[in-house]
Amino acid sequence: MPEELYDIETTIPSNPIEEFLRMDRMPHIWCPGCGIGTTVNCFVRALQTSGLDLDKVAVVSGIGCTGRVAGYMNLDSFHTTHGRAIPFATGLKLANPELKVVVYSGDGDLTAIGGNHFIHAARRNMDLTVILINNMIYGMTGGQAAPTTPVGATASTTPHGNFEETFNLPFLAESCGAVYVARWTAHHVRHLTKSIKEALAKKGFSFVEILAPCPTLYSRRNKLGDGLDQMEFYRDNSEIKNGADTKTVTLDFQGKITVGKFVDKERPTYIEAMNQHYQKKYGERYVPSDEMRKHFHA
Amino acid sequence: MAQVAEQTKKAKGSVVIAAERCKGCGFCVEFCPPEVLELSTEYNSKGYHTPVLAKRDLCTGCDICGMVCPDFAIYGYIIKKKTKEA
Amino acid sequence: MHADPIGVLTGAHFIDGDHACSEGAIAAGCRFVAGYPITPSTEVVERIAERFPFVGGVFIQMEDEIASSIAIQGAVWGGKKAMTVTSGPGFSLMMEHIGLAAMTETPCVFVDVQRAGPSTGLPTMPAQGDMMQARWGSHGDYQIIAIVPNSPQECFDLTIHAFNLSERYRVPVMMMMDECVGHMIERVVIPSADKIEVHNRKVYDGPKESYRAFETGRDLVPSMVKAGDGYRIHVTGLTHDEKGYPDMSVSAQGKLVQRLMDKIRIHTDDIVMYKEEDVEGADVVVVSFGITSRTAIPAIEQAKAKGLKVGHLRLVVVWPFPEKRIRELAGKVKSIVVPELNMGQIVYEVERCAAGKCNVVSVPHAGGTVHQPKDIFAAIEKSLRGT
């Protein structure tokens, strides 16, 4: 045995993220080079240092590649219908405000079919952490255009090139009243982890958009290489501008990517507003649910 | 089965690679700050080239590879050193 | 167990069916309602909005029916009893989530105060045109229970029953009211809380490692937990195994769908509910439900006055359909007359079960108002011709 190995601690620590995942369901279904797993890694690391009681964290997903995240998390997890993770999460949170409810879903799910629910939950400042993985495409169903597919990009339903203007998601979230709005890419693992941690700790509608590669469909159809090429593109073309005006952060096809924490403000959450309102109006006559009462006197 | 990279006295850290879970995307190799990983010429049973710790002395155990891996197939750790009794 | 007294407005009231339904829900222990306004159901949620802050409930008017129909399911997994309320157009929007509730075995109540359709139809006028939709509206194979009250008193009593059935069998239950029953004002007696039976879902409280969220015993109903109890459950609308994990195999599909169907089928005898009058020895039986059962009464009396032997079978639970009883009756009577405020829906079930053993006559109506008793009477007479 070489002498240099004598002094080493030989116990290898097991991967600390494994207890957060349903390892009995690995390997997952995501493609080689897909960025969703990377974002899950960051989410887990954010949970690790969040101080949250994991029994009280619930993940709600919709349908799509990102929608599968719920199934891999070793937490109370709900794989609901397409676009409707946010209203399900709303009901879950209102039934038990003690729960930390995280919505983890894709760009098409949350802003196309789910768009109405997205804007109303932000308006209400529902206490949800919304993690949106933006791969600019509908991956699971074979690469159709999403409201985030950039102008000029090719998708299976825009085979001649997309000419529809896209959503600027941070602007949308801010204009609807979200109290925390950030965008990162799957490349920015450290920033992303910190941002998710902040979003988890923040009361109210906290929104984190994460750009991630879809090598099999978006990148391939648009001749952008593979997942690694897209990650390198993120690295080379992202500009961190914390506090940037969200009106200016639109994403063009293979254009500059503005990342950062754009909005971090305070306003009463739906639950706070509801309880304050009834308390003020009815005093002792107001009977909050046991869970609401616990939540306010915790 | 995880491959445990050989540790060295000089290295600050090392990695554990769950090669069977790896899909050969290359993120870890590309984004490793000290550039100590390489894609192996070997394949796993699914036909992917998995990473190996090529420059084991230089691994810092920063776990950027672990954070960036989409398949939970690699993680880095800092080696706890104990001094040899004189 | 008995109702929580905090929600029970014991006493005699003079209220409409919609309001009686709200009181029934509160008495049943419902403490989460998500809804969207739609005539003629809106009064249900309006009363809930008024009452909930004083009984520990949470009401939220969601942005649409689709959001309402799934918000209630989130609340159920958060530990509450939950209900949503709508009419035809909203019922159509809720179909996907009725399927989700059936697939994930989420107990919840959907109230449909039916109005004339199709489409926007006659918003302020009654019909019973959603009866088949209640059973078959969502895609795929699944079971639901549908209950039809015929008075404000029944709106109170049967809403409690709807919650109890939903909790017992972990199935979505449809309360199929109609604009007439919903907006008529009658005496509603609410008993004291200790006289109201309330049933809660079977809860698992054993060791976490051995919990299988969708494993069942002979009754085919799995025990439930809620988010936050530490069981780390996974609930999905995908075909799943006993752990709740997605299982994309033909065998898992066969197993799961069969159990979801059997879960109601094997308990059909306990679930079916109908009220009979003078059916023994009758030549004609009028099979009716909801408001139509009340307009049938003068028709039946007129027929009896003419010497006809007419019985009345009023369906209270329409789904699961009382196949056994209809089959039995068809062998004993000359004809069955089915008046409904639609162009013929439940009559098909009656025909199917009668299997040609007797005449089956539909008394359809496009909706907008109730039947004229004379039309039901004419059908009773006609049904005996050629028998």
A56 and A82 within one domain: yes
Q: Are residues A132 and A143 in the same domain?
A: yes
CB contact under 8 A, C236 and A25: no
Average pLDDT, chain A: 95
- Is A193 in the same domain as A165? yes
Q: Please indicate, yes or no, whether residues A166 and A279 belong to a single structural domain of this protein.
A: no
Query: Residue A74: its chain C contacts at CB < 8 A?
Result: 232
Provide the number of CB pairs (under 8 Å) joining chain A to chain B.
101
* Tokens encoding C380: 């009773």
d(CA C241, CA C276): 42
In a shared domain, residues A56 and A200: yes
Number of domains in chain A: 2
| Closest to B55 in 3D by CA, of B2, B15, B18 | B15
- Do A183 and A272 have their domain in common? no
Stretch B1-10: mean pLDDT, rounded?
Answer: 67
CB C50 within 8 A of CB C91: no
Say whether both A158 and A282 belong to one domain. no
* Alpha carbon distances (Å) from C22 to A90, C156, C250: 22, 8, 42
Query: Which of chain A's residues have a Cβ under 8 Å away from the Cβ of B72?
Result: 15, 17-18, 21, 26, 37, 41
CB contact under 8 A, A93 and C74: yes
Q: Does the structure show a pLDDT above 60 at B86? A: no
Identify the band that residue B79 occupies on the pLDDT scale cut at 50, 70 and 90. confident
Q: Are C287 and C276 in contact (CB under 8 A)?
A: no
A7 in any annotated domain: no
Indicate whether A211 and A273 sit together in one domain.
Answer: no
Specify the pLDDT at position B2: 61
Q: Contacts of residue C56 in chain A, CB cutoff 8 Å?
A: 287-290, 292
Say which DSSP state B80 is in: P
Domain that holds residue A290: 268-298
Query: Are A121 and A127 spatial neighbours (Cβ–Cβ below 8 Å)?
Result: no
Select the residue from C30, C232, C238, C239 to test the A interface by mutation, using most A Cβ atoms within 10 A. C232
0.95 surpassed by complex ipTM: yes
Neighbours of B67 (CB within 10 A): 22
Q: pLDDT tens digits for A28-49?
A: 999 999 999 999 999 999 999 9
Interface A:C, Cβ pairs < 8 A = 147
Residues A55, A190, single domain; the answer is yes
For chain C, give the percent of residues with pLDDT over 70. Answer: 99
What is the tens place of the pLDDT at every residue in C64-112?
Answer: 999 999 999 999 999 999 999 999 999 999 999 999 999 999 999 999 9
**Residue C51 and residue C22: Cα distance in Å, rounded?**
9
Query: Which parts of chain C have pLDDT scores under 70?
Result: 386-387
In this structure, are A287 and A256 located in the same domain?
Answer: no
Q: Among all residues of chain B, which has the CA nearest to that of A193?
A: B67
**Among A18, A41, A226, whose Cβ lies nearest the Cβ of B67?**
A41
> C touches B (3+ CB pairs < 8 Å)?
no
What's residue A2's pLDDT?
46
Question: Are both A36 and A178 inside the same structural domain?
Answer: yes
Q: Average pLDDT, stretch A71-94?
A: 98
Q: In this structure, what CATH number is given to the domain that contains residue A56?
A: 3.40.50.970
Q: Which CATH number fits domain B2-78: 1.20.1290.10, 3.40.50.1700, 3.30.70.20, 3.90.180.10?
A: 3.30.70.20
**The predicted structure's pLDDT at residue A10:** 61
Per-residue model confidence as pLDDT tens digits over A238-268 = 999 999 999 999 999 999 999 999 999 999 9
Q: For residue range A54-77, what is the model confidence (pLDDT) as tens digits?
A: 999 999 999 999 999 999 999 999
Q: How far apart are CA C169 and CA A224, in angstroms?
A: 52
What is the reported pLDDT for B40?
94
- Average pLDDT of A86-109? 98
On average, the pLDDT of chain C sits at 97
In a domain? residue A128: yes
Instruction: Please state the rounded mean pLDDT for residues A288-296.
Output: 91
Residue A82 belongs to a domain = yes
Q: Are residues A257 and A275 in the same domain?
A: no
Res A150 pLDDT > 90:
yes
Q: List, in order of start, the domains of chain C with CATH numbers.
A: 5-195 (3.40.50.970), 275-384 (3.40.50.920)
Q: Would you state the pLDDT for residue B10?
A: 80
Minimal C-alpha gap between C64 and chain A (Å): 9
Task: For residue B84, give the nearest of A7, A38, A189 by CB distance.
Answer: A7
